[in-house]
Amino acid sequence: MKLKLVYKISSFIAFVLIISFMISSLTAEFLGDYILIVIVKKSIFCTLPLLIICMSITGISTRKLALLYPNLPYNRLVVRRVKYIGLNGVMFLAPLATVLNYLAQNNSIESIFYLLQSLEILFGLINIFLFTKIFRDEKNQINKI
């Protein structure tokens, strides 16, 4: 039970961080305030280690839960989705956040910034979609038991 609680807390924090990154980025972009964009990109960059820690804990606890309950096909699905979320974060979101912060801090908010920002939003939406599917499937799994 303790492992399930750790999984739920870490995945929820990671999910909320991703959504807050998305909302703050979109708000800053729509307002078009340069200073706000710089602050948001710096905040995301500085909060990235917390997201990485939460995603690591989520991945480890997911795998341990799958080992504890190997007969539930749902667990294998969650492990696969969490793996995709982690890969998406490591391969795309973290590097994009780093580059976007660098560009914002160096007053280089130009077309390349907006292109990279669009990619970051796309990959962030993919992670939000995957997390939503995990949470929905969890709810359905609980209702079946």
HSE value, Cβ hemisphere, 13 Å, CA-based, for 130:
22
Question: Minimum mean pLDDT among 57-71, 99-113, 118-132: which range?
Answer: 57-71
Task: Write the single-letter amino acid at 35.
Answer: I
Helices (H) and strands (E) in the chain, counts: 5, 0
pLDDT in tens, 52-70: 999 999 999 988 988 888 7
* Predicted pLDDT at 142: 57
pTM value is 0.87
Question: Are the C-beta atoms of 82 and 62 separated by less than 8 Å?
Answer: yes
- The domain of 127 spans 2-144
Which residues have CB under 8 Å from 17's CB, separation 6+? 47, 50, 51, 54
Q: What is the domain count for the chain?
A: 1
DSSP class of residue 108? -
